[in-house]
Amino acid sequence: MSLPVDDLQCAVCCDIFTDPVLLSCSHSFCRGCVRLYWETSGSRDCPMCRKRASKAAPTTNLALRNLCDTLQEAQRESLSTGKEDPEMSCDLHAERLKLFCLVDKRPMCVVCQSSKTHKNHECLPLEEAIVDCKEELRSTLASLRDKMDSLKRIHTNSMDTMDYIKNQAVETQQEIQAKFEQLHQVLRRQESERLAAVKREEEEKLAGMRDKISEMADEMLSLEESFTVLESELNADDMTLLQNFKAIQERCNSIPLGPVNMAGTLIDVSKHLSNLKYSIWENTNNHLEYTPVTLDPNTAHPYLILSDDLTSLRYSGQSFGCPENPERFQKSAEVVGMRPLGSGRHHWIVDTGGNGDWLLGVAASSTPRNAEVSARPENGFWTLCYRDGELRAMVSPPTPLASATPVRRVRVQLDYNRGTLCFFDCSSSSSSSSSCDEDDADARLLYRFESAFTEMLLPYFYTQSPHPLTILPESVFVTALRQYTPTQVP
């Protein structure tokens, strides 16, 4: 006859019940155990649920006492006849398994404890070991459940990202088609090549996402199998759990719990749209408009709206369903340019218009995208700020700059090698935007940063105004050089 030994153990002494009594809360304990507990605690509470017991003496649990007597009688008969459960005996010494080795993670007898194999190993009684092992496996199961929840969230975000990639591909193709439509029919061949490039990248990105999702599905399946094994072992008898504990633990520890890398999963829209007209017509003799800086939409905060040609931004106050990719600013309405700057001289002019809340400048490429950081040089930002009608250089502390009128046009000029970043007010300049620089008499120097730049910089933009900030185009002249052959004079 198989008796439920765990159900016949007192929760206080962890041994078979002796003269069990039944409390009003339906919990049972040894009469002596509950009396000692009450004397020690000074209150008549249940040791398990803390419910107040009645003042009357607890009644004897006759049914439980009969079961305990039957179990003890069976154990005595087993000892007298020499019949023991083979699973409870040591394979080497035929002794009863009473200890659990914490080093080798397996049950053993008292003779094993004195052997060379387990010498100096820390051991616990089986009753204590089973409690610790169950607790550890429950903790592992909880960790795996957390991993499963995390994978489910990532899986959902990955499916949304796939839809976003498809939308990116469609919108990018439409923009490319619109710009090609403005050109002559002789350029159709180049248009087809660019559309094919977007299609190839879309297929590559979607294939990459399918691989990631497939990997996550496999991992989720492996986790589900681990859940089944763990739950099965936790429901098994104690000795089977202890004998299989090491193998279960190794299986659970072999499951990778690292984060899924989602960087670089979006289509590089800037590669296809940045200065598209210029790149197509750069070998022609026509005058072209060239924008020295274009924005990277994969970095734009979800509340920012960028123009189709990636040269202006404005604040909307609502999200447009952008995925949480690692490149994107998540905490503040920021965006950076698509091309990092690491040497030489660079400049761009921003038309602020009626925008009354903006920051312009450069940011180090390593600045965090998922945290709010003060735009100061010590944090990798060199910027000018206009807010509440006041223009300030963002140093520590911010320095107010005198300006009789609002700055409508700002030229940002970077000399990376010399370590300087200058801001000019070109609002009253009579010359074209392309010639507004430090040599322009109407251009006024607003502020000059000096720093030893040590990493790549990115053009930086911030606004919380519905009025756009626009990067102005510059005129570019393409001249074809021809070899001159003098005419022979007779």
pLDDT of residue 1: 43
Residue 399, number of CB atoms within 10 A of its CB: 11
d(CA 338, CA 325): 16
* Alpha helical stretches, state H, 257-314: 269-273, 276-281
Which of 463, 466, 160, 470 shows the shortest CA–CA distance to 300? 463
Over its C-alpha atoms, the chain yields an Rg (Å, rounded) of 38
Residue with tokens 């496999």: 218
What pLDDT shows up at residue 310?
Answer: 94
Nearest to 138 by CA among 6, 249, 237: 249
Nearest CA among 463, 480, 415, 459 for reference residue 291 = 459
Q: Number of helices (H) and strands (E), helices first, in the chain?
A: 8, 21
Q: Which residues pair with 22 in a beta bridge?
A: 28, 59
The pLDDT profile of the chain, 490 residues, written as one tens digit per residue, is: 445 566 788 888 777 888 889 888 888 989 888 888 888 887 888 888 888 888 788 888 888 888 888 877 776 666 555 554 556 778 777 778 888 998 888 898 887 877 777 878 889 898 888 888 888 888 888 888 889 888 888 888 888 889 889 988 998 998 888 877 776 666 777 778 889 999 999 999 999 889 888 888 888 888 888 888 888 888 888 888 788 888 878 877 777 665 667 788 899 998 888 888 777 766 454 555 789 999 999 999 999 999 999 999 999 988 877 888 889 999 999 999 999 999 999 999 999 988 999 999 999 999 999 888 899 999 999 999 999 989 999 999 999 998 767 899 999 999 999 999 999 998 876 444 444 555 565 688 999 999 999 999 999 999 999 999 999 998 766 565 555 555 554 4
Looking at residue 119, what is its pLDDT? 76
- Over 218-237, what HEC string results? HHHHHHHHHHHHHHHHHHCC
Q: Report strand pairing: 288-290 vs 474-476.
A: antiparallel
Closest CA to 457 of 269, 297, 293: 293
pLDDT (tens digit per residue) in 246-289: 887 887 777 766 566 778 889 999 888 888 877 776 645 455 57
Termini Cα distance of the chain:
130
**Alpha carbon separation from 398 to 318, 377, 401, 453 (Å, rounded):** 30, 11, 10, 20
240 closest CA partner among 134, 145, 136: 134
Q: For residue 100, what is the enclosing H or E element?
A: strand 99-101
SS3 456: coil
* CA torsion angle 160 162 163 164 (round to 10): 90
pLDDT at residue number 5:
63
State which amino acid sits at residue 405: T
| Digit-coded pLDDT (tens) for 129-139 | 888 888 888 88
pLDDT at 476: 66
Q: Evaluate the CA torsion angle 318, 324, 330, 336 in order and state its sign.
A: negative
Q: How many CA atoms lie less than 13 Å away from 377 in the CB half-sphere?
A: 17
**How far apart (Å, rounded) are the C-alpha atoms in residues 278 and 301?**
27
- Residue among 242, 245, 256, 248 at smallest CA distance from 227: 248
Tell me how far apart the alpha carbons of residues 402 and 412 are, in angstroms, rounded to a whole number: 18
Burial of 71 (0-12, 13-18, 19+ CB in 10 A): middle
pLDDT value of position 364: 96
